[in-house]
Chains A and B, each alone.
Chain A
Amino acid sequence: MRKKLLTVLFIFIMFFCFLLQCTMFKKLSFGGISPNLLIITTTSVGFMRGEKQGLLAGFISGLFIDIFFGDVIGLYALLYMYIGFLNGKFSRIFYPEDIKLPLALITLSDLSYGVVCYIVLFLLRGRLNFPYFFFHIILPETVYTIVMSIFLYPVLLYFYKRLNADENRSETDFV
């Protein structure tokens, strides 16, 4: 029951992040670059709750973007889904006390997201100047995202810890 509540809560947070990303953070952008909050939520759900939840979270957040800003529906959903799934692989070595792994995973996810976006949306249309796009779009976005994750990640962690405490209790009750 608590687990379902948390799922609903995470969906709500993702929805809220999507709204903020399209409105408020566009006004708070530095040099036209705004952070990618949905990567933070997708990645966090992935390594906190495992592959299945991660891929579902990615699918939902990608679909939000697709409906509003995608040229075709499914591209971002696919991309975010794989990011969530791959991060789910790390749920076995994730400990709530450790902040290094989450930050490293968020960085890596956003970088690879940027590179894949560049390849699919730009390289295939013959825009070959990769260094420009890397240093002007991908890297600034990653840095900004990391800064934002310092604020957003503890919120997600707080809800996760509450769930986990309840889960452990119910397990011991059974045994």
Chain B
Amino acid sequence: MSPVIKPKGEKFTLPSKYLLFILTILCTGLMILTFTTSALSTPLSYAAGFLVVPFEKGIAKVGSYLNERTEMLQEIQNLIEENEALKQQVVDLTNENISLQQDRFELTNLRQLYQLDAAYADYEKIGARVISKDSGNWYHSFVIDKGTDDGVEENMNVIAGAGLVGRVSSAGKNWAKVTTIISDNVSVSGTVLSTSDNLVITGNLETYAEGMIEFGKLIDEKNQVVEGDKLVTSNISDHYLPGILIGYISSLDTDSNNLTKSGYVTPAVDFSHLEEVLVILEQKQTIEE
């Protein structure tokens, strides 16, 4: 077929140098394409969901089963010791409970003042299991076993327990990738609950080794923000619904410009032991372009 006449029996092979060159251009092209548009993500995520996710689900199931068994054995030992301590605590707590009940009445009033009732208890949520984590050691993202079939879409918020975990950064048919707020390349706009001052929380691989992430750009002229203050997502955030707990301020410093403050936040969620998460099926309202 080919116009070039080749000696019989000699097969045409592409030298590896050219193949490398072609694939390099292909990769660079793909990088530019995926960086600027999202044209590729649909077919690729479909293929991945078809190929990889069933295996990962299986392994995750076996893994969590083994985990549960070993934890159970360890826990039996702990439980005996704990039981002793707990009995003593029951006595102490009964006394405390009486005084707390009086406080509760006060708290209900205060809560109405804060109008925190409208927080995330009302959002429609869906539970999902973590089936795989980022293969490298650089970022903290993971894959959950719910996808567009279950109503999960890009940019939906993910929480665990009471705190913010992150948001869905891409969704396939039966899987979705979640980028966590502790990832080094992620920033979240937050608010100090007590003073309503806005700040920016940034993931940091370096400080997360000590269980903390950074925050900055906090304007607090009256010095009202103190260590231990609650941080929630702000109402001006692009992707995150307002009022979701992020964490607590663990240290606070004035920047060298004397206008803003920065410091460290202890996240409310234990990211190293995430097994199940909740995806909020409501998205932040954005202005249509």
Q: Given the known A-B contacts A68-B48, A73-B44, are A51 and B135 also in contact in the complex, defined by CB atoms under 8 Å?
A: no
- Residues of B close to A88: CB separation below 8 A: 16
Q: Given the known A-B contacts A33-B137, A78-B24, A141-B137, are A129 and B206 also in contact in the complex, defined by CB atoms under 8 Å?
A: yes
Q: Given the known A-B contacts A23-B63, A81-B24, are A125 and B16 also in contact in the complex, defined by CB atoms under 8 Å?
A: no
A27 nearest CB neighbor, chain B only: B63
Count of B interface residues, CB-CB < 8 Å: 46
Inter-chain CA distance A85–B20, complex, in Å, is 8
For the complex formed, measure the closest distance between the CB of B223 and the CB atoms of chain A, giving whole angstroms.
29
Stretch at the interface among B29-37, B112-120, B193-201, B257-265: B29-37
Q: Given the known A-B contacts A85-B20, A127-B184, are A22 and B132 also in contact in the complex, defined by CB atoms under 8 Å?
A: yes
The answer, among A18, A22, A32, A50, for a CB contact under 8 Å with B16, is A50
Does chain A have a CB within 8 A of B52?
A: yes
Q: Which of A99-120 contact B (CB under 8 A)?
A: 117
Q: Which of A1-46 contact B (CB under 8 A)?
A: 18-24, 26-27, 32-34, 36, 38
Quick check: B272 and A23 within 8 Å, CB to CB?
A: no
Inter-chain CA distance A72–B41, complex, in Å, is 10
Quick check: A73 and B185 within 8 Å, CB to CB?
A: no
Inter-chain CA distance A104–B143, complex, in Å, is 33
Q: Which of B125-172 contact A (CB under 8 A)?
A: 131-139, 141, 143
Q: Which of B1-43 contact A (CB under 8 A)?
A: 14, 16-17, 19-20, 23-24, 26-31, 33-35, 40
Quick check: B16 and A55 within 8 Å, CB to CB?
A: yes
For the complex formed, measure the closest distance between the CB of B45 and the CB atoms of chain A, giving whole angstroms.
7
- Residues of B close to A21: CB separation below 8 A: 135
Quick check: A122 and B45 within 8 Å, CB to CB?
A: no
- Residues of A close to B60: CB separation below 8 A: 23
Quick check: A26 and B133 within 8 Å, CB to CB?
A: yes
Quick check: A27 and B20 within 8 Å, CB to CB?
A: no
Quick check: A67 and B31 within 8 Å, CB to CB?
A: no
Q: Given the known A-B contacts A72-B35, A132-B206, are A65 and B135 also in contact in the complex, defined by CB atoms under 8 Å?
A: yes
For the complex formed, measure the closest distance between the CB of A44 and the CB atoms of chain B, giving whole angstroms.
17
- Residues of A close to B93: CB separation below 8 A: none
For the complex formed, measure the closest distance between the CB of B171 and the CB atoms of chain A, giving whole angstroms.
12
For the complex formed, measure the closest distance between the CB of B135 and the CB atoms of chain A, giving whole angstroms.
5
- Residues of B close to A121: CB separation below 8 A: 138-139, 184-185
Question: 5 closest pairs, A vs B, by CB?
Answer: A74-B30, A22-B132, A74-B27, A52-B16, A51-B16
